[in-house]
Amino acid sequence: MADRNGTTIILLSGDFDKVFAAFILASASASAGQETTIFFTFWGLKAIQKGNLTGKGLMGRMIGLLNRGGLQRLNPSKFSFGGMGRWMFKKMMAAKGVTSLQELRQACLDLGVHFLACKMSMDVMEIRREDLIPEVEDVVGAATATKNAAASSVQYFI
Amino acid sequence: MADRNGTTIILLSGDFDKVFAAFILASASASAGQETTIFFTFWGLKAIQKGNLTGKGLMGRMIGLLNRGGLQRLNPSKFSFGGMGRWMFKKMMAAKGVTSLQELRQACLDLGVHFLACKMSMDVMEIRREDLIPEVEDVVGAATATKNAAASSVQYFI
Amino acid sequence: MADRNGTTIILLSGDFDKVFAAFILASASASAGQETTIFFTFWGLKAIQKGNLTGKGLMGRMIGLLNRGGLQRLNPSKFSFGGMGRWMFKKMMAAKGVTSLQELRQACLDLGVHFLACKMSMDVMEIRREDLIPEVEDVVGAATATKNAAASSVQYFI
């Protein structure tokens, strides 16, 4: 709790638009010289998984089926229509020269944004460390996320 | 606005995963010695109601019907399937030894987290003080919640 | 990052209850003498559009169709039922003497809350400056929103 100049984002959502917003805010904060951290929890873990996610147990496999696809398959929080909302958004964003989610995620990493994954969510959803992209710095508990947030001047729960 | 060492959570959501996240963050903050407050508003009130919620007027009864069940009946923000998502989550969490929502709420209370309920939401949804668990410290307006938040170093809107 | 006494709200949601909460929090903060800003992005832009929103391109028109109606037509995040949830809420709020969204928005403006619109979202959704209410102070990027947030003591992502 020393300086309080950083930004901590707790990303629970796996919706396209919200993951997008999280990456935009994180990259903007990091660009402005702020120490920036994203703590990925629950559905937010989809944003840092490798693409296919299948737990070994029955429950994990069920969640995996519903979640399959990783960053390429996220739907917006509105207007999904079986993926049509996503298609429409991508189309519009491409037409307007807006960066894709993959590029945005890479921009965050290039700018030094810290990626932390939530241990408990991974346990519950049967996601293993090797299911996540290697750039994830650590798998931590809520206590660590909270300490990080308390040391920051800006917090977002998305 | 003296010390700014606390955490204020504004909980509008009544989704299982988000209420869960709110209780986890609150208990982690309180464990770390921070003065922690949850302001329950709109659907978030479900997390502190006694179990059955029925307003006296027609509107209150309609909302009550839709909301019936309290903390045992919250669905996750994704994959509800008429309660199946909830069942799946609980199953997985039990299998992984994760604490239930009831236990988490109790942990928050044991750790001294302050529970405040939103007066206006209660008026609109026809929820009375006696419909809420007795541990709720006070029923207050947005001005109080905002003052609390401004005096905290960490704020989450969930 | 001088004083840190303000409140910055990033409003991504266009749901009735969340827009409502954003305006309540903003007006309460401004009433308490805090410099308060709402940054409207994605679906949140619906809260400051003039009523009808139609992009010129095909994509913009599709989003426009789905979004048509402005502040009078926002549905709550739960219980939409083809607008019935909205009707129910308005009915209850009127019965309880709760201010309408339009009145709340005006109260925010009267209290000096700053309204900023997200440039990128407007580009993607083909919303023009003249589609927004004239009280919007500026159309800015995420960098400006982030700088604003970092200079505030309170941030909400809604």
pLDDT digits (tens, 9 = 90+) for B40-50: 999 999 899 98
**Low-confidence residues of chain C, pLDDT below 70?**
1-4, 51-70, 72-73, 75, 78-89, 92
Are C29 and B123 within 8 A, CB to CB? no
Contacts of C43 in chain A (CB under 8 A): 17, 77-78
CA dist., res. A35 & res. A114, Å (int): 8
A119-137: average pLDDT = 92
pLDDT digits (tens, 9 = 90+) for B63-118: 554 455 567 667 667 655 555 566 666 776 777 777 788 889 999 999 999 999 99
Whole-number Cα distances in Å, C147 to A22, A66, B48, B127, C116:
15, 37, 36, 40, 13
Q: CB-CB: which of B24, B88, B92 is closest to A142?
A: B24
Cβ contact C49:C132 at 8 Å: yes
Task: Tell me the nearest-neighbour CA distance from C55 into chain B, angstroms.
Answer: 30
Contacts of B19 in chain C (CB under 8 A): none
Q: CB-CB: which of A5, A28, A92 is closest to C143?
A: A28
Name the residue of chain B whose CA is nearest to A42's CA: B17
Are A142 and B17 within 8 A, CB to CB? no
Q: CB-CB: which of C18, C88, C158 is closest to B59?
A: C88
Calculate the CA A12 to chain-centre distance.
Answer: 8
Per-residue pLDDT at B101 = 86
> What are the strands of the beta sheet with B6-11, ordered from one edge?
B138-140, B114-118, B36-40, B6-11, B152-157
* Residue C79 sits at the chain B interface (C-beta within 8 Å): yes
pLDDT digits (tens, 9 = 90+) for A58-98: 545 555 544 555 676 676 676 555 555 666 667 767 777 77
Give the chains touching B; criterion: ≥3 Cβ pairs < 8 Å.
A, C
Token pair recorded at residue A131: 């299911």
Of B57, B70, B58, B53, nearest to B14 (Cα)? Answer: B70
pLDDT digits (tens, 9 = 90+) for C110-151: 999 999 999 999 988 888 999 999 999 999 999 999 999 999
CA dist., res. A110 & res. A49, Å (int): 18
Name the residue of chain B whose CA is nearest to A58's CA: B92
Contacts of B103 in chain A (CB under 8 A): none
* Residue B156 sits at the chain A interface (C-beta within 8 Å): yes
* Residue A12 sits at the chain B interface (C-beta within 8 Å): yes
CA dist., res. B38 & res. C18, Å (int): 17
Name the residue of chain C whose CA is nearest to B158's CA: C158
Task: Tell me the nearest-neighbour CA distance from B130 into chain A, angstroms.
Answer: 31
* Residue C43 sits at the chain A interface (C-beta within 8 Å): yes
Contacts of C34 in chain B (CB under 8 A): 150
